Each structure stands twice: as C-alpha cells, then as structure tokens.
A and B are shown apart, each in its own frame.
Chain A
Amino acid sequence: MNEELLNVLRTLVLSATPLTIAAMGETITERAGVINLSLDGSLALSAVTGFGVAIFTGSPEIGILAAMLAGALVALIIALASIELRLDQVAIGFVLTLLMADLAEFVGVPVAGQRVNGVPYWPLPILSDIPIIGRIFFDHNALVYISYLLVIGTWFWLFRTRAGHAHRAIGERPESAYARGTRVNFQRYIYTIIGGSLVGMAGAAYSLSVRVGWTTPPSMLGDGWIALAIVIFGGWHPARVMLGAYLFAGLKAVAGAIQSTDLAIPVTLLNTLPWVLMIATLLLVSSGGVERLLRIFPRQMQYRLRSILRSDPPRALGQRFDEG
C-alpha cells in the first residue's frame, strides 16, 4: 500500500479519537435524557486544563485525569441546574459553552505556546505488526485504544446489560423506569457526570495527543458542535456515532491532504466542508431522507435496514422528570 495514503489514514484515526470520545460521552448523557450542550466550551476548558496540569506535574496521565475532572464538573453544573433547579438544559448548556470557552482562553494565557510531552506513543504489541491494519489502527497512543474500547463498551452496556436497559429507559420513558424502581434523577446525575468526564478526556486528547499544545483561539473550536451533530447523525447508537466521527475526521484528513498539494482549491472552501457535511448529514437523518433512500431497496431488506438507519432521539431528551 502507498506509504502516503497509509499516513493519511493513520492521521485520520488519530484525529478521529477526540471526536469519538466526546460523541460517546454525549451519547451516554443523552441516552439518559439529558442534553449537555456545553461541549464546545467544555472541550476547550478540559483541553487547557489537561495541558496545564501536564505541564505542572510533568505527567500527561495526571493531565488527562484533571481534564476529565473539569469535564465532569461542567456536566455536574448542568445536572444540578436541570434536576434540582429545574432550569432549561438548553439554556444552561448555551451559557456554559460560551463561558467555558472564555474561561479556557483566560486560564490558558500563562501556558499558551509552552511545550510538554504528550501521551506517550505506544504501539500495541503483536496487533501493530498486522500489515496495513496494524499501522492504521494499532500504532498510536493509549487514548486511541481507549476510544475503541469505549465504543464497544458503550454498545455492550446499552444493548446487552440489564443496567444498560434501565439507562435507556430513563431517557425514553422515565415514568415507567421510575415505576419499576429506577432512581431516575440519581442515575441521570451519574450518566451526565460520566458523559462529561469523557468529554473532558476528549479535550485532553486534543491538547495532549492530536496536536500537543495550547493556542488562542484553540484548534478544537467548533468541534464540540460537530460532536453534538455526530450524535444525532449516529442515531444515539455507539457504532454509528463512531462512524460519524470517522466520517468527519476523514473529511478533515482529505482537506488537509488537498491543502498540501498544488491543487488550486482555496483553503476557505475546504474549511467550510465540515460544516456543509454537518448540515447535509442532519438533513439526511431529519428530513425523512432515510425513508426515501430505503424505498430503493427490496422490501425484505427495508425492515432490517430501517432498524440500522433509524435515528429517533430518546423520547424524554431534554425533559425534566419530577420524582414523586
């Protein structure tokens, strides 16, 4: 295989990692019925937190933990505000995303432009020796492998465990879940905080893995919104969400590759591509485009395909649940 193409694909996997982790965190949160709209700001804040702590302690691992804590704290604010104070999740997420982006810029001033060792490169033994596939998927750092495990783990949790069924139930029909003895709001706290800490990990993946460092404005600005759109495009299903993350990262990799060639395509045009793709994917899943697409296929296949392609949001998404 062409060495250049191999490198592009390898970079693709690396740069898809934070998007995958963030979108997985959001999937977990939204499956419980809570919207964490603060992603764009949370990613920036946790990225700068992870980077700063890594500089301070000299350990990228502690940096990642600190970033996860930052993401979890933002998520906790959303959970508290929506569950205890009955505030609108969208409104509070909106404010938080703006505030956290500014806060990241403010606390990032002293560390901007500094250098630190990122998450150590760690090719997986044996697996990385597989030709082609090994280079693309198993020749990275631990965060990349964590993202794979996360997707598999989330899928298994949501669709193959009892507790995962309860998790989905509180996002679909909280009143039934409550009647069956699930402590809806308590669990919503848990999943919102877990989701938030994954968003935090994704932030650290930007500043300690994809491109080690911190700049103003940060490189990941806008990716939080893309991650939120990926969750919708992925129909709240871990595998499809991961596919979405790779689609966007792939587009970026292609754009980056075109940029380094002599093709006379303006950079600005390339920069709009992810956003055009975002609108296009949302158009596809929300305007009944999937249904129209399905009609092309023979009837026997339609049912099966529909269950793979359908993307209805959790029914109680964004809705408050009052216990008792």
Chain B
Amino acid sequence: MSKFLRQTLWTALPFVGALLMIVIFLLLLQQFTAVEAGPLDVLEAFWKSISSRGELSLRKIGNVIEFWIPLVLVSMGLVVTFRAGLWNIGIEGQMIFGGIFATGMAFLRISDSPLVMVPLVILSAMLGGALWALLVGLLKTKFGVNEIFGGVALNAIASQITLQLIAGPWRPPDSDKAQYSDDIPGASMLHGISPDFDVSLVALIIAIAAIVLVVLALNGTRWGLNLKATGRNPRSALLLGVPVTATSLGALALCGALAGIGGAHRVIFTEGQVAGQFTGGIGFIGLLVVLLVGMRGAWVPLVALLFTIILNAGTQLQFINLDSSLTGVLQGMLVLMVMLFSGLRDRWQLQQSRKVKIAATPQAEGAD
C-alpha cells in the first residue's frame, strides 16, 4: 500500500466511523421508537432536497447555495478567530448586528439606486458585525471576561435589540404588534440570478472572495503567522514581539465583519425583512463546521455544503414524519463522532509508535 493511500485512509477513518455511528443511531430510532423511516429514507430525503423527478434540480441547488453563502461567510470568519485561539460563540450576535446595521442603512433610503445602496448596506453590515465582535474582544482583552461568556451574553442582548427594533422603529406602518419589520426598500435588496436559480451573484462573489482571501491571508502573510502564534501560546507570542491584543481584536473584527455580511444576506436577500430569529442559527452551524475542519480553512466550502444540504433536508424529513430538528442532531453527531474517532485514531497511533520505541530500547541500551 502506498504511503499516500494509507494517509488518505487514516484521514478518512473518523468520517467513516462517524457515518457508521449515525447509521446505527437511525437504525436504533427505527427499531425501538415510533419512527418508521430508516437510514435509507433519510438519505433519500437528502437526495430529494436537491433533486426533482430523479434529476439534480437547479432550483433546489439554488436554495442550498442561498444558505451556503452566509454559512461560508461566518465559517471563514470563525476559521480566523479559531486560529487566534478564540472561541467566538458570539458569532450569532455578530450576524444579528450585521443584519441590524444593514437594515438601518436600508431604511435611511439615501438613494433610489441599488448601485449606491447595496454597497452602503453591505459596508454598514460589516461595520455592525465588527463593532459587536470588538465588544467581545474588548471585554476579553481589557476586562478579562472570557469570550465565551461575553459572546453568549451579547448574542442574547443582540436578539432582544432586534425584537425591540421590530416592535418600534421598524414596525410595518399598518400593524401595531409586529412579528416582522417593514419590508426592506427595493433599492437595498439583492436579486437572484434568475427565477430558476435564486442566488445573488453579488453575494456569491463576496463569499468566494472571502474564502480565497482568508485562506491566502492565513497561510501566506505575516498577519496569518501572528494569528497562529497568538492562538498557540499568547504569552510566548507576546515575548516574540507579536502584538497579541491587536491581533486578537483584528481577528474578531474581521470575523464580525464577515458574519455581518452573512446576517445582512439573510435580511436583504433571503427574508426581505427582519424577523425575530432571522439568522436561522447559521452562526452556531458555522461553529460546528469550524470544529470539524479545525485549522484547514480550505475545507470550509465543502463541509459547509454538506451541512447546508443536511439543513435544507428538514422539510423533506417532515414528509417521512421526522422532526426537522433531526438535521441539527445529525450535524452535531457528525462533528462529535469525527472528533471522538480522530481522538481514538491519534491515541492508537501514539500507542503504536510507543510500542516501536519500546521494542527499540533494549538495543539502544545494549549499545551503551
């Protein structure tokens, strides 16, 4: 067996193990609960969510990409913060604030031209997300509040602010108790490429640019090195002359800006208005994506695609009497199992290499 093949198999092993566990989980559900659908039915639901009449459907793939774009944006942001050693669970709040700033700008109605409004809206979304992320960063660097707790609290506060805005200034004029804000003015909206492929070209380009730029910046620049050093060991990084605080804050601001665009995309493309939970939990799914890919940002597009397909199959799952929350369970299980199996594999490899060492020791002593 060639070395390359063996390496590939080793890498794939946790994924195979995770898939096996998920299949077993679904089989158990089928056997011991009222659930009638089995693993194959679930697989079929995934297939149906991207196809119609047995063929890949462009329209449905468009729907997948519509989710994929914000997920990729937040995930690329999270790859940056993850590399800097930050657990940016505040990503949801950053998405929300992106959406809030975007909506605020849209309602200013500065111009009727999309050429003016769309860039302004996107820039303010980046600003909103970055500011909310910097708040987490300041709490951490200046006041020692762990970013996990700061992030969770700011998520909750951001979502309450959204509700307050919907109930107050952004209320549709014809209703007094609103679940949704007024419609976003047309000039600030993004539009799909065609009715059959409802994906915003602008957003797609931004998402792809984000992937390329983040991967390049992380692997080919001084800044990327600084991030890595900060993430590995902030104390020695500081001794080596890395501006640790600035690097952390910069990572958070960049992540927030990307998440902000993701949040804005939900508002100015997917929803066309602001609802209570307009982020759709995409920030948390992004966290799962990044926990799965770890530092390897280049894998984000593919893993995000897989997660979006799982997420999008929610409606199809309901047709076979499975609650759509199963999608979250499958995503979480996938990540947990891959982590556990990777740990198992690494542990086993370590033991193997120790055995080799022990076997080699007597000779070394003999030579002494």
Binding site for B on A (CB under 8 A): 37, 77, 81, 84-87, 90-92, 94-96, 98-103, 105-106, 109-110, 216, 222, 225, 228-229, 232, 266, 268-269, 271-272, 275-276, 278-279, 282-283, 286-288
On whether the beta carbons of A95 and B139 are closer than 8 Å, the reply is no
Contact of A96 among B150, B161, B164, B336 (CB under 8 A): B336
Known: A86-B347, A105-B323, A272-B157. 7 other contacts (CB 8 A): A81-B340, A85-B344, A86-B346, A98-B287, A98-B328, A99-B333, A276-B157
Q: Residue B61 at the A interface, CB < 8 A? A: no
On whether the beta carbons of B87 and A105 are closer than 8 Å, the reply is no
Given that A272-B157, A278-B149 are contacting pairs, would A99 and B332 also be in contact in the complex, using a CB cutoff of 8 Å? yes
Q: Which of B113-168 contact A (CB under 8 A)?
A: 139, 142-146, 148-150, 152-154, 156-157, 160-161, 163-164, 167
Q: Which of B312-356 contact A (CB under 8 A)?
A: 323, 325-326, 328-329, 331-333, 335-336, 339-340, 343-344, 346-347
On whether the beta carbons of B149 and A102 are closer than 8 Å, the reply is no
Q: Residue B284 at the A interface, CB < 8 A? A: yes
Residues of A within 8 A of B190 (CB): none
A85 to B342, CA, bound (A): 9
Residues of A within 8 A of B333 (CB): 99
Residues of B within 8 A of A96 (CB): 336
Q: Residue B72 at the A interface, CB < 8 A? A: no
A99 to B332, CA, bound (A): 5
A102 to B146, CA, bound (A): 25
**What is the CB-to-nearest-CB distance from A234 to chain B, in angstroms, rounded to a whole number?**
14
**What is the CB-to-nearest-CB distance from A73 to chain B, in angstroms, rounded to a whole number?**
13
A77 to B335, CA, bound (A): 14
A233 to B339, CA, bound (A): 31
**What is the CB-to-nearest-CB distance from A227 to chain B, in angstroms, rounded to a whole number?**
11
Interface size grouping (class) on chain B: 35 or more
Given that A85-B340, A105-B328 are contacting pairs, would A279 and B284 also be in contact in the complex, using a CB cutoff of 8 Å? no
On whether the beta carbons of B326 and A95 are closer than 8 Å, the reply is no
Q: Residue B34 at the A interface, CB < 8 A? A: yes
Given that A103-B329, A222-B156, A286-B143 are contacting pairs, would A91 and B167 also be in contact in the complex, using a CB cutoff of 8 Å? no
On whether the beta carbons of A81 and B157 are closer than 8 Å, the reply is no
Q: Residue B291 at the A interface, CB < 8 A? A: yes
Residues of B within 8 A of A102 (CB): 325, 328-329, 331-332
Residues of B within 8 A of A94 (CB): 87, 89, 287, 291
On whether the beta carbons of A286 and B336 are closer than 8 Å, the reply is no
Residues of A within 8 A of B45 (CB): none
Residues of A within 8 A of B336 (CB): 77, 92, 95-96, 99
Q: Residue B105 at the A interface, CB < 8 A? A: no
**What is the CB-to-nearest-CB distance from B159 to chain A, in angstroms, rounded to a whole number?**
9
